[in-house]
Amino acid sequence: MTSLLLEPLQQYPAAALSSTLVALQETQKRLPPPHPIWLISPKVWQQLRSGVIPLWQATCDRWQELPPNASDLKALALEMTHQLPPLDVGELEMVFAACHHFWQQQGGESHLVLTSYLWQETQDLPWSVGSGTVLRCPSLPLCHQAIEKTFAALVRAKNLYLYWQRGWDFCQIKVAILLYPLSSIVASGWWIRTNPTLKAIASGVALPHQGIPLPPRGIALTPAQEQQLQQACRGTPSHLWVWHRSQTQVWWGQCLPEPQPATLPLKPLERTLIAEGIAAAPGQAIAPALVVTEPCAPAAVAGRILVTQTIPPHWLPLVSAAVGVICEQGGLTSHGAILARELGRPAIVGVANATQQISSGMTLFLDGHRGAIYQLPSEPLPVVATPSLQTSSPAAVKRLPLKLMVNVSQVNALRLLRSLPCDGIGLLRSELMLLAFLDHRHPCHWLEQGEAEQLRDRWVQHLCKFMRAIAPRPLFYRTLDLRPADYRQLLGGHRFEPETDWGLRGVSRYPHCPELFHLELSALAIAHRLESSCPLRIILPFVRSAREVSYCQTALAEHGLVSSAGVELWVMAEVPAILFLLSELAPLGITGITIGTNDLTQLLLGIDRDAALPEFNEDHSAVRRAIAQLIQEAKAHHLSCSLCGEAPSRYPHWLPWLVELGIDSISVSPEVVTQVLDQL
């Protein structure tokens, strides 16, 4: 794990910096800002890039004969992103404490500015290659997350294309990140000494990395202030300067190597709307389509938009390899949509006749925000894939009326979990987690072949990854809830799965296959011992009777997974029968209930969660009444109560309603955590 190294900008050796940063050093000596400024050392990128340089070199050798296309760029970007090691907070904790001290002294609003600078030898790379971020009401986890995203942006497909097209040597590029706090800012603006007409002024904090500066507006500088800035940058090369102004003074915040973006002029994008559906996972993607009706190798899907009729969970490798997903069937709570959101792949479901309307090779623009699919001209386009951007919001500094946790199943989410402002993993979907290491074999097939120990070891390894990432926050692990339709497709599945999809769901399966249940508990016990700093909570799924819970408690005790060992037992409240069972379950010693809105909704309303019926959803009055009753019953029996699902992020009136009912916690997808925090 690479540690963050930060130093005050004025103390950093000028010989190790780009000419732009040296110019900033000089001007800030003449016109000191009222806040500290740090630089994330170029040494950090030198350590991070060690795993991606061989990939770049090997790819460039191939590109000498055949120039890159969209699929090549996206596939390389994905592979390089996965090779970037995680960042330890290192010195960031000390720096953030100093920022917090500055905000307390200044009062008013709190902002944290991060800007990346790229150069090679004596040449500054254009500022459009880097990125700028303003965190409002920041926390240490959000700052850490923003820094990781800034480094990851260096290997996005757009930048890789620019490096290759402009002849920049990626292996020699140096990177530094400027970081400084701001308090109550009246205005910010952009200014060029040699071209005073290119000056834009905006109320609050603004950075120009997203495009050409806007025309002047808002609060202007006085002639005296303009003269002050002119004198401060006298003798330095022409740059695009960023200034900030408080009530009493004006100062340079940063400068950028050139005022115009480096990207080539783009022709207007011609597009034709060809289909619409339900926006199931936010983000956008431009890539060739690949229509798939039968499972195929993930390599065939890499860098393409996957178009299919439905997405069974065992297609996880295909969803992971694709840059976007279009599906004829499914709704917002289908497992395909859940996997796409967790993996950060834009997705549209419920697209009628998608596999007939779209053909493989067709260049598509998939807009996962609006649920729209456009056909683009067939000429080569660089692959673009942008997941939903998270909105920065307060975390540790804000007292919340409930605990906010996340639903996960894939280790891909671990990078985000390390710095996400949440209170733990509220739901680890074990049946989806298993798909990552089952090698397309049914778990009972492993047992039948005498490979129980190998399966258990893989189970433990995955569990420990999640526990290490979230510790010391708790992990709520839901034991296996195998849906026959999903697992019947795996090797051996037709022999181990019943034809009906509703009989052996959740805990009702355990007495029929005790070997698998005890193997799971064995893995949990080992992981609990290895990662004791992570509090373990076990949730029993699809509970329909007190007898089922008693059976599970006996098995848990055999493996030492009891309250005296620090393990809490919870039950899922998703079968409508649970509305009448809490008086029987509470005396058994359970700690709490987790309301599963997806299954509760489909069972109460008689719908299929994989079908597109948007008018029947969690916001139905019957579902809300059932949830209110469950919360009230739980409180009456002194049980904790959590709710997992996307309804709190989808319906703005849910959060105040749940808080008023007195719910203890909610658990949502990682990509909407900051959105939910903004509503609290």
For residue 491, give the DSSP letter. Answer: B
Distance between CA 292 and CA 441 in Å, rounded?
21
User: Angle at which helices 514-530 and 546-558 pack, to 10 degrees?
Assistant: 50
394 pLDDT above the threshold of 60: no
Percent of the chain with pLDDT over 90: 40
**Which positions are annotated as active-site residues?**
335, 644
* Residue 193 exposure: Cα atoms within 13 Å on the Cβ side: 19
Task: Name the percent of the chain in helix, strand, coil, to the closest 5.
Answer: 40, 20, 40
- The answer to whether 576 and 595 are in contact (CB under 8 A) is no
In whole angstroms, what is the distance from residue 14 CA to residue 9 CA? 9
Residue 550 has pLDDT above 50, yes or no: yes
63 CB-contact burial (10 Å; exposed 0-12 / middle 13-18 / buried 19+): middle
What DSSP designation does 220 have? P
Q: Where are the domains of the chain?
A: 2-183, 272-387, 403-679
Tens digits of per-residue pLDDT, 107-152? 778 889 999 999 988 788 887 788 888 888 888 888 998 999 999 9
- Whole-number Cα distances in Å, 295 to 300, 307, 313, 439: 10, 12, 12, 13
The CB-based long-range contact list for 95-100 (8 Å cut-off, 24+ gap) reads 95/6, 95/38, 95/179, 96/140, 96/143, 98/36, 99/36, 99/138, 99/181
For 316-370, how does the pLDDT look when each residue is reduced to its tens digit (9 = 90+)? 888 888 889 999 988 777 777 888 888 878 999 989 899 999 999 898 999 888 8
**272-387 topology per CATH:** Glucose Oxidase; domain 1 (3.50.30)
3-state secondary structure of 368: coil
Query: 529: helix, coil or strand?
Result: helix
Closest CA relative to residue 463, chosen from 561, 367, 395: 561
Distances (CA, A) of 205 to 114, 134, 679: 12, 7, 22
Helix locations, 401-500, DSSP H:
414-417, 430-434, 443-448, 452-470, 484-487, 493-496
Indicate the SS3 state at residue 87: strand
Q: Which fold has domain 403-679?
A: TIM Barrel (3.20.20)
155-202 pLDDT, tens digit per residue, is: 988 888 888 877 788 888 999 999 999 888 877 877 776 655 555 556
Average pLDDT, the chain: 84
pTM attached to this predicted model: 0.59
The third-level CATH classification (topology) of the domain covering 2-183 is Dna Ligase; domain 1 (3.30.1490)
pLDDT at 580: 95
